[in-house]
Amino acid sequence: MLRRLLLLGAPGVGKGTQAVRLVQKLGIPQISTGDMLRAAVAAGTPMGREAAAYMERGDLVPDAVVIGVAEARLQEPDTERGFILDGFPRTTEQAQALDVILSRLGRRLERCVVLSVREDTLVERLRRRAEIEGRSDDNEASIRTRMEVYRRQTAPLIEYYRAQGILVELDGMGSMDEVARRIDGALAA
């Protein structure tokens, strides 16, 4: 199975759930810039303090900050056998930076899996997550902003990875197991 992976899709599409499953199945780390930023906010680091306001609103944290976080993580030795990028890159500038970072490490992405789910289902899932996890950016205004940010800034990456010949577009509707089967099929080398 391919092991240098990027999961792409709108907020609430199920990237995180599928990334955690792949971590267990493949024994490679999930790299979630969202998780790393939330940890920095919780720890009250200078970076966390800078990122908090953007995250609360549902806006993107500046590229330079996020690229630095991702680069440091990709240099950790546990990524040598593979990794699952979840929530990074989110802009063309981040995608270009990722290509440079990986090429310096002598690696390249093998698959970008984009999951798509109807928007009314996404919003419903995010509202439920707000109730269960209490994530402060799962409020109504932030949900709307994040959907718009995805459409405007992140969706163009679909064409970026199509041009690289590594894109697979999958239906993200249905149960977790159904989506898992589709993803596993797309990762068969």
* Residues at the contact surface with ligand AMP, assessed by CB under 6 A: 11, 33-34, 37, 54-55, 58-61, 66, 87-90, 94, 137, 146
Which CB, 16 or 82, lies closer to ligand AMP?
16
Q: Could you give the count of Cα atoms lying within 13 Å of 57 in the half-sphere of its Cβ?
A: 9
- Is 146 marked active-site? yes
Catalytic pick among 4, 21, 111, 146: 146
- Is 144 marked active-site? no
For 12, other C-beta atoms within 10 Å of its C-beta total 24
| Closest distance to ligand AMP from the beta carbon of 136 (Å) | 10
| Closest distance to ligand AMP from the beta carbon of 77 (Å) | 22
- Is 107 marked active-site? no
Residue nearest to ligand AMP according to CB distances in the complex: 34
Q: Could you give the count of Cα atoms lying within 13 Å of 139 in the half-sphere of its Cβ?
A: 9
Catalytic pick among 3, 129, 162, 182: 129
Active site residues: 15, 90, 129, 135, 146
